[in-house]
A = this chain, B = another copy of it.
Amino acid sequence: MGRWKPGAGDRLREAALSLYLERGFEQTMVTDIAEQAGVTARTFFRYFADKREVLFDDSADLEEKALTVLDGLPATTSALDAVAAVLDTVAQMVGGDRELARKRQAVIMANADLRERELIKLTSLSAALADRLRQRGIGDVEASLAAETSIAVFRVAFSRWATATDDQDLQNIIHQTLDRLRTLATSR
């Protein structure tokens, strides 16, 4: 296996994020990332298809887990409760390391192409959630609305979490944000 070491994926991810932040995403080469992580470029490509995928490689996994959660819920679960359960799972997946999330967020916000990619990822997740909600027998409009709303709640909660100065976890912030949506939607 040559220079391959256990944990190389995590080291590559950290090296990549630090370099993207320092030098900018465009200016960072795969060889720079590999060097900083103490591996070869060939090892980099065992983990990631390209330097953009370091930032987005978890999205297929995220979507799959989100849909699995939906499938496991009782048939009587309301659309918004279903979405809340999905958001809980997403929070567990992406809410573990705030420092990493903060760096990733800063890198993405600094680059128009990456911002687009992130938007597309969330939109595709929303479409997949809406489809699965429809399969559960939830009406067309309710399904789309619940899915789109969950993305809205996630975006607001995630950005609050990533920029917060206190130590709240993402799951808590998502719960609060959902509650605020409930209040917002009912106040006139």
Q: In the complex, what distance in Å separates the CA atom of A153 from the CA atom of B145?
A: 7
Q: In the complex, what distance in Å separates the CA atom of A176 from the CA atom of B42?
A: 55
Q: Please, which residues of chain B bring their CB within 8 A of the CB of A146?
A: 184
Q: In the complex, what distance in Å separates the CA atom of A22 from the CA atom of B174?
A: 45
Query: Known contacts A119-B123, A141-B160: does B184 contact A149 (CB below 8 Å)?
Result: yes
- Residues 94 to 116 of chain A near chain B (Cβ within 8 Å): 115-116
Q: In the complex, what distance in Å separates the CA atom of A74 from the CA atom of B25?
A: 45
Counted per complex, copies of this chain come to 2
Contact between B186 and A186, CB atoms less than 8 A apart: yes
Contact between B155 and A148, CB atoms less than 8 A apart: yes
Contact between A144 and B156, CB atoms less than 8 A apart: yes
Interface of A, secondary structure class, is: helix
Does A37 interact with chain B (Cβ within 8 Å)?
no
Does A177 interact with chain B (Cβ within 8 Å)?
yes
- Bitwise, A111-154 to B at CB < 8 A (1) or not (0) is 00001100110010000000000000000111011101101110
Contact between A145 and B184, CB atoms less than 8 A apart: yes
- Given A78-B188, A116-B119, A149-B181, 13 additional A-B pairs, CB 8 A: A80-B185, A80-B188, A116-B120, A119-B119, A119-B123, A142-B180, A144-B156, A145-B152, A145-B156, A145-B177, A148-B155, A152-B152, A186-B186
16 CB-based A-B contacts, threshold 8 Å:
A78-B188, A115-B120, A116-B116, A116-B120, A144-B155, A144-B156, A148-B152, A148-B155, A149-B149, A149-B152, A149-B181, A149-B184, A149-B185, A152-B152, A182-B186, A184-B185
Per CB-CB distance, the 5 closest pairs between chain A and chain B, nearest first, are: A148-B152, A185-B185, A144-B156, A182-B185, A119-B119
